[in-house]
Structure 1
Amino acid sequence: MKTNKLILSLLTAFLISIIGCGKKEAVKQMSAEERFRLGMSKFQKEDYLEAIEEFKTVVLQYPGSKVADSAQFFIGECRFLREEYILAAYEYDLLINQMPSSGLIALARFRRASCYYELSPNSYLDQAYTKKAIDDYQEFLEYHPKDSLAHLAEQRINELNTKLAKKDYENGLTYMHMEYYKSAIFYFDEVLEKYHDTPYAELSLLKKAEALIYRKRFYEAKEAIENFKKKYPHSKYINEADKLQLSIETRIAEKSK
């Protein structure tokens, strides 16, 4: 009896192994389209790691198939939705560089830029990812100016430029507090030259005039205030500008005596 049970157990294990191998063989023989559909099924269930494996199989085993570029794109999407933005950007890069005739290139460029957009930190931190996002959105606009996502790309570029302007403006304020006025002027000029269409340009021009007063460069300060009032005649800081202008004129008059 014990022998029969042992034989039955071994036979059962053997049959299970055969069935298992048969299933694996069946999966291996799936077409590219079937593999892709399986990957999409897992993707829709948010089983992103399993979906990645299916999509990778399509890309590696069926590189010339009609769904290879879609599989590569969705590898990037899986990484993106897992918030693995560096890995996602890499996967979108592969699509852009290795499958240049794909109809998904525009979307891949936009999503690659969006990876760095998501990585862009607060203004007081290093802004390397912010600059990379801007570069990639600009590349997207250069290649696909009429794409439906072009307007969103422009909005995000403006948003990211405002963040960079804020960082330079705040650097200028820091140097003002430290009484390093030359360094403060440098950062205010950075805002005025690079980010003149952001809200921080207005503030930077006003603060530049103030820093110039502290450096006793009154005529340059006078010019800065005049430019401010010309560019921003309805500014909410106009009263502050008037006070600075009066101070400058008083200093110039005293110097002329």
Structure 2
Amino acid sequence: MRQLLSLLVFVVIFSSCSEYQKVLKNEDSSAKYELAEKLYNAKDYKKANRLLEQIAPKYVGKPQGERVMFFFADSYFKIGDYNLAGYQFERFIKSYPKSEKLQEAAFLGAQSYYELSPKYSLDQTDTDKALVKLQNFINTYPNSEFFERANIMAKELTTKKEKKAIEIVAQYNKISAFDFSFLTPAISGAENFLSDFPGSIYREDALFYKFNASTNFAINSFDSKKAERLQSAKVAYNNLKKYYPESKYLKKADDMMQTINKELENFSK
């Protein structure tokens, strides 16, 4: 019985492969369309994609064109070729703006760019593209079944960008302890972060980095600028304490604040 089942499976696979190879070399577009749909529905997206690639240009403007183009884009998505998937979904959206599949195509196109987003330490160009696509989808289809998933993905990508940004600010702070020329970029970097990502999970870190860099900047300034910069550092401390009264940086920040107060006392004398 096992041998018979194995033989039947072999025959089915062999027949399927033979049919596929035969249709692939055939010039009959309708035969390719029929088999491509059959393979797509059977989740054999790689073979379906090859057939769809051959017939897609021939179905432009035809009744089946919409169906062919969606299958074509989605087959790229299913096999993990997200660059081409994103491109083909964009073509579908432009070609069929009234399609019943428009919403799904817009979401899958955005998800294609989401899948291309690299880890936070690398260039985030694809992340930016994905965020634009996802935000457009969220704004356009607030009642979509894909709305929640789009929001989750957008939040994940935003957090990734925030992590990269805060790592840069942290690096500036670290280097500025040895090279004072990095103190100004450290302060402005923290300020930019707070402005660009006001609701970030790294907001506490940014506030502390600003205070830390502001303190070092003030203490290492010429006397003519020191008092003004010490006051700016004090403001940075107060902001950290205001928004995070039990901050993980509180002990270190309090110690630094004592130094600032001593410096200010010297000026008052």
**Could you say which TM-score interval applies, normalised by the shorter chain?**
0.7 to 0.9
2:46 and 2:79 in contact (8 A); partners too = no
Distance change in 2, residues 1:95/1:29 (3 Å): closer
How far does residue 160 in structure 1 lie from its aligned partner after superposition? Answer: 1.2
How far does residue 136 in structure 1 lie from its aligned partner after superposition? Answer: 0.7
Name the CA distance, whole Å, in 2 between partners of 1:246 and 1:104.
63
Residue of structure 1 in register with 2:236 after alignment: 224
Amino acid across the alignment from 1:152: R
Q: How many pairs are equivalent?
A: 232
Instruction: Say whether residues 1:120 and 2:122 are aligned partners.
Output: no
How far does residue 141 in structure 1 lie from its aligned partner after superposition? Answer: 1.1
Amino acid across the alignment from 1:119: L
1:86-124 per-residue CA deviation (whole Å, 9 max, x = no partner) reads 111110010111111112122212112212211111222
1:14-73 per-residue CA deviation (whole Å, 9 max, x = no partner) reads xxxxxx89x947x5455xxx92x5323322444334212443466433445554323212
Residue of structure 2 in register with 1:153 after alignment: 150
Residue of structure 2 in register with 1:92 after alignment: 89
- Provide the alpha-carbon RMSD of the alignment: 2.5
Amino acid across the alignment from 1:219: Q
How far does residue 82 in structure 1 lie from its aligned partner after superposition? Answer: 2.4
1:172 and 1:184 in contact (8 A); partners too = yes
2:56 and 2:72 in contact (8 A); partners too = no
Residue of structure 2 in register with 1:250 after alignment: 262
- TM (norm. structure 2) is 0.77
Match of 1:129 among 126, 131, 139: 126
Amino acid across the alignment from 1:73: F
Name the CA distance, whole Å, in 2 between partners of 1:163 and 1:254.
44
How far does residue 166 in structure 1 lie from its aligned partner after superposition? Answer: 1.3
Q: What secondary structure is seen at the aligned counterpart in 2 of 1:215?
A: helix
1:165 and 1:200 in contact (8 A); partners too = yes
1:92 and 1:112 in contact (8 A); partners too = yes
Q: Which runs of 5+ in 1 are unaligned?
A: 1-19
Name the CA distance, whole Å, in 2 between partners of 1:193 and 1:51.
48
Q: Which runs of 5+ in 2 are unaligned?
A: 1-21, 177-181, 219-228
Amino acid across the alignment from 1:226: N
Residue of structure 1 in register with 2:172 after alignment: 175
Amino acid across the alignment from 2:133: D
Instruction: Say whether residues 1:240 and 2:252 are aligned partners.
Output: yes
Residue of structure 2 in register with 1:208 after alignment: 210
Name the CA distance, whole Å, in 2 between partners of 1:75 and 1:244.
61
1:69 and 1:104 in contact (8 A); partners too = no
Match of 2:195 among 193, 196, 206: 193
Distance change in 2, residues 1:240/1:41 (3 Å): farther
- Max Rg structure: 1
- TM (norm. structure 1) is 0.80
What percentage of aligned pairs have identical amino acids? 30
